């Protein structure tokens, strides 16, 4: 069984591919090709099993891949795939491609913003949201839209590890948390006052 590929090793493969693609001025093409190959391998368990099989010589695997891909993908893409297979990392190919895609976005100055709304955005709302996010981040923003009726209204925006919660549900949860903190911090002030004391004591 192949060992899981650590994050820094996956990044090393991804950086090598990025550098080769940029140097050859083929970044767009290579990005599209490795993503397509990742999808193909995910849909082809038999091919993945063949490429991961340690008893099959690398030369046989390389021959199969060249027959299938030579002339159809960039030499950079093919050589990268062959290197991954040769070093017995094919089962981590999908992970490497995800890291590569992240590096490509960083290289281009792009960020992904996940926008969650109760109903689908209109074209006008999408354009306004995109413009505002690009002003805030100073980068080209790619929107990933998701509909979640449970947020009731407004929207939640996730960029990297940052969350901007503008939903009605989020607003209500903040109010609820504030009230909870008030009850915890000042229970004495919230205790019912003695009616007699409020009235100035017993009537004469």
Task: List, for residues 140-172, the tens digit of each pLDDT value.
Answer: 898 999 999 888 777 888 887 788 877 766 666
User: Same domain, yes or no, for 96 and 70?
Assistant: yes
User: Same domain, yes or no, for 102 and 11?
Assistant: yes
CA-CA distance, 111 to 19, in Å (whole number)?
20
pTM (whole model) above 0.85: no
Instruction: State the DSSP H helix or E strand holding residue 9, giving kind and residue range, or none if neither.
Output: helix 7-23
CATH (domain of 94): 1.10.520.20
Q: Which of 13-17, 65-69, 179-183 is the least confident region?
A: 179-183
Q: How many domains does the chain have?
A: 2
75 found inside a domain: yes
First to last CA, the chain: 92
What percentage of the chain has pLDDT greater than the value 90?
53
Higher pLDDT, 196 or 177: 177
The last residue of one of the domains, among 106, 131, 151, is 106
CATH (domain of 121): 3.40.30
82 found inside a domain: yes
Instruction: State the DSSP H helix or E strand holding residue 140, giving kind and residue range, or none if neither.
Output: strand 140-147
Query: How far is residue 23 from each of residues 26, 96, 164, 190, measured CA to CA in Å?
Result: 8, 19, 38, 69
The last residue of one of the domains, among 91, 106, 121, is 106
127 found inside a domain: yes
User: Same domain, yes or no, for 33 and 61?
Assistant: yes
User: Same domain, yes or no, for 177 and 157?
Assistant: yes
Q: Domain range spanning residue 56? A: 7-106
User: Same domain, yes or no, for 98 and 162?
Assistant: no
Task: Work out the pLDDT band at 136, boundaries 50, 70, 90.
Answer: confident
Residue 183 · residue 159 · CB < 8 Å: no
């Amino acid at each position: 069984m192949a060992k899981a590929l650590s994050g820094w090793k996956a990044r090393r493969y991804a950086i090598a591919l990025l550098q080769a693609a940029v140097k050859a001025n083929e970044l767009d093409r290579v990005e599209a090709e490795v993503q397509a190959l990742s999808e193909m391998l995910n849909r082809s368990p038999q091919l993945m099993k063949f490429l991961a099989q340690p008893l099959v010589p690398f030369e046989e695997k390389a021959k199969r891949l060249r027959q299938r891909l030579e002339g159809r993908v960039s030499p950079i893409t093919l050589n990268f795939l062959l290197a991954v297979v040769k070093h017995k990392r094919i089962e981590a190919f999908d992970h490497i491609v995800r890291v590569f895609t992240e590096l490509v976005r960083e290289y281009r100055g792009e960020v992904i913003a996940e926008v969650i709304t109760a109903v689908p955005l209109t074209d006008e709302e999408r354009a306004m949201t995109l413009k505002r996010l690009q002003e805030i981040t100073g980068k080209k923003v790619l929107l990933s839209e998701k509909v979640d009726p449970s947020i009731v209204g407004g929207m939640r925006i996730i960029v990297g590890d940052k969350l901007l919660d503008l939903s009605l549900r989020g607003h209500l949860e903040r109010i609820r948390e504030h009230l909870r903190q008030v009850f915890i911090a000042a229970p004495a002030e919230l205790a019912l006052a003695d009616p007699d004391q409020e009235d100035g004591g017993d009537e004469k």
